[in-house]
Amino acid sequence: QVQLVESGGGLVQPGGSLRLSCVASGSALSINHMGWYRQAPGSKRELVATITSGGFANYADSVKGRFTVSRDNAKNTVSLQMISLKPEDTAVYCCNAYWIGVNYWGKGTLVTVSS
């Protein structure tokens, strides 16, 4: 099993930046697929960014050029650096890990972009 805990959310003005972090833990942990998803008010959950253990990343078109996903395999963390934030980025951001055929989710951290 995998436990995921996110942190770093908060209130930021449009154009500002935030860095989200997710710490993964478990008795046995070697996870290739990890990522960030978000769910805005009244919207379905959507993919933001994914990253493999080798560091290959994919991004939603809406965040390309503004968000950067990274991971530290030794520390079992995955991060999301967000810049040039827009009000439409407001959402609960959840960390995801896919391990032995199961999707694991953190509880989420709220990002609010508002002036």
Residue at 60: amino acid letter: A
For residues 85 and 113, is the Cβ–Cβ distance under 8 A? Answer: yes
| CA-wise closest residue to 31 among 67, 75, 81 | 75
User: Per residue in 33-73, pLDDT tens?
Assistant: 899 999 998 999 999 999 998 899 999 999 999 999 999 88
pLDDT of residue 27: 59
Beta bridge partners of 80: 20, 69
User: Per residue in 81-109, pLDDT tens?
Assistant: 999 999 999 999 999 999 888 999 999 99
